[in-house]
Amino acid sequence: MSMHPLSTLSLGSHCCYFRLNGSVLDGNAFNSPATIVQHRFHSNSFEMLPFHSVQNGVSVEGATHKQVVDLIKSGGDCLTLTVISVTQQEADRLEPQEDQSGYSYIDYSDKRSLPISIPDYGIVNRNGERYIVFNIHMAGRQLCSRRYREFANLHSLLRKEFSGFNFPKLPGKWPFQLSEQQLDTRRRGLEQYLEKVCAVRVIAESDAVQDFLTDTEDDISASPVDIKVMLPDHEVSTVSVKKSSNAQVVWEILVQRANLTAYTQQYFYLFEIVEYNFERKLQPHEIPHQLYVQNYSTASSTCLCVRRWLFSVAKELTLPDGEQAGRFIFYQAVDEVNRGNIRADGRLYELKALQDAKKAGDYLALARTLPGYGDVVFPHCSCDSRKEGHVVPAVGMKSFRLHACREDGSLEAQMVELTWDSITRSESDEESMSFCFQYNRPDKPARWVKVYTPYHAFLADCFDRIMEERKWEDSGD
């Protein structure tokens, strides 16, 4: 539609993300900051008033950017502006086209420190060719291996895409075979290059860098990697596996590497450390290496660990004296007491006095008498049976509990405890990211409850395991 160069345009009612350009329209009667609306609009109540005022009517003529932003924040969800059209020449001055030296508008100031390193290099023999690869790690976890020429290709791509950035120099080429000292010098130079390049967020998140740090299918099938797994006694075992190995394969290799006994194999499994004080059991088909490199920000040396996969205290009591599985159960019980999942209450002092591997039997004998022993306690989450606040799900051999809490996880007094006999059906719903279960109520129809947790699949696994172990007890196995 055609409009007068200074006519007003009503955009209707919207809530949007926007920024204010502090430029002033030369010769404009209003002589106030021009407004440029960008990003995306959300259908909500939003009106446009004269652009020199905010919703509360305060004039922003001559105001600083911060003053305008503060007024916008104080106005709540709705902001009222009027957009005034300008000539094309003026629009180009205020908002240059992207093809006009677009590199100068890339923000290189947004920086962060990534724990990327190249600790070593290796020799690869493939398809009759022998060459050196440099092993790239993130927080001590190997991402991929790259040849020098792949670094050179990356450097060339980045210089074209980010021509306004002053890139560090790449270690120079050398036409002859490098000595070990020269290779180590090249390794350090490549490491420093990646550190500086990946420190700039816009470059680190570019397709070129992401592709460079991501394995190709050939890399995944051919390159073995070292994966660290924390055992229940906090010792770390390192296994060498293919990057494509699933959890079951990694577990079987770990069994051999860490000399896990038959009891440990039966009552423990691989878990992922996903939140502070919470781990989830891996599905056998999951790829541990993918989790390993995705979770480089975890505080521990690894995000993979071995945890108890047994609810039955009766079965635990049948373990032979000195059995490795029993020792692992002791160490995990100590962790659960420290986390508060085993509620020691007035017995904490006694437990602390017994917190020694030589007194493991006495420690466990006391711990088994306390609420929460052997249970899996999930992070707090929302639930459709609770209008306000969250719940903390807990799965144990005796019952399934939903403990009421605030949205920040602070526990409240109310708790619903359901025996396993009362729960008739359960399922994991990937689409709604929830775990659903049905339970019987005395003199009332059965009720469905939805627990909205990202760990719904693990919660379903816990239910299935409980049902399996209850069959053990019924059959006397």
CATH code where residue 146 lies: 3.30.1520.10
**pLDDT given for residue 45 in this prediction:** 36
Q: Are residues 232 and 362 in the same domain?
A: yes
Asked whether residue 103 is assigned to any structural domain, the reply reads no
Asked whether residue 148 is assigned to any structural domain, the reply reads yes
Asked whether residue 199 is assigned to any structural domain, the reply reads yes
Q: Are residues 317 and 362 in the same domain?
A: yes
DSSP per-residue codes, 132-182: EEEEEEETTEEEEEE-HHHHHHHHHHHHHHTTTS-PPPPPPP-SSPPPHHH
Distance between CA atoms of 199 and 178, rounded to whole angstroms? 29
Phi-psi region of 158 (alpha: psi -120 to 50; beta: other; left: phi over 0): alpha
| Boundary (domain end) residue, out of 196, 214, 232 | 214
Asked whether residue 449 is assigned to any structural domain, the reply reads yes
Q: Are residues 245 and 323 in the same domain?
A: yes
Asked whether residue 446 is assigned to any structural domain, the reply reads yes
**340: CATH:** 3.10.20.90
| Boundary (domain end) residue, out of 367, 395, 424 | 367
pLDDT tens for the chain, 477 residues long, are 444 433 344 344 344 444 444 334 444 443 444 443 333 333 333 333 334 444 456 666 656 665 666 666 666 656 666 556 666 666 665 555 555 444 457 888 888 888 899 999 988 887 778 888 999 988 777 888 899 999 999 999 999 999 889 999 998 887 677 888 888 999 999 999 999 999 999 999 899 998 898 876 555 555 678 889 999 999 999 999 988 899 999 999 999 999 999 999 999 999 999 887 899 999 999 999 888 777 655 556 788 999 999 999 999 999 999 999 999 999 999 999 999 999 998 899 999 999 999 999 999 999 999 999 999 999 999 999 998 999 999 999 999 999 999 999 999 999 999 999 999 999 999 989 999 999 999 889 999 999 999 999 999 999 999 999 999 877 766
In this structure, what token pair is assigned to residue 418? 């359901």
Q: Are residues 283 and 199 in the same domain?
A: no
Distance between first and last Cα of the chain: 80
Q: Are residues 210 and 239 in the same domain?
A: no
**pLDDT given for residue 60 in this prediction:** 62
Q: Are residues 325 and 229 in the same domain?
A: yes
Phi, then psi, of 13 in degrees rounded to 5: -105, 120
Distance between CA atoms of 56 and 54, rounded to whole angstroms? 6
**pLDDT given for residue 12 in this prediction:** 43
| Boundary (domain end) residue, out of 314, 334, 367 | 367
Q: Are residues 65 and 33 in the same domain?
A: yes
Q: Are residues 12 and 144 in the same domain?
A: no
**pLDDT given for residue 80 in this prediction:** 65
Looking at the 3D structure of the chain, how many domains does it have? Answer: 4
**pLDDT given for residue 276 in this prediction:** 78
**pLDDT given for residue 114 in this prediction:** 83
**pLDDT given for residue 13 in this prediction:** 39
**pLDDT given for residue 37 in this prediction:** 39
Q: Are residues 128 and 207 in the same domain?
A: yes
Distance between CA atoms of 59 and 52, rounded to whole angstroms? 6
DSSP 47: B
Q: Model pTM? A: 0.64
Q: Are residues 254 and 349 in the same domain?
A: yes
Using a 10 angstrom Cβ sphere, with 0-12 exposed, 13-18 middle and 19 or more buried, the burial of residue 62 is exposed
Asked whether residue 108 is assigned to any structural domain, the reply reads no
| Residue whose entry in the numeric block shows the structure tokens 């000399």 | 259
Domain that holds residue 244: 224-367
Q: Are residues 254 and 210 in the same domain?
A: no
Q: Are residues 386 and 455 in the same domain?
A: yes
**450: CATH:** 2.30.29.30
Asked whether residue 193 is assigned to any structural domain, the reply reads yes
Distance between CA atoms of 176 and 84, rounded to whole angstroms? 66
Asked whether residue 3 is assigned to any structural domain, the reply reads no
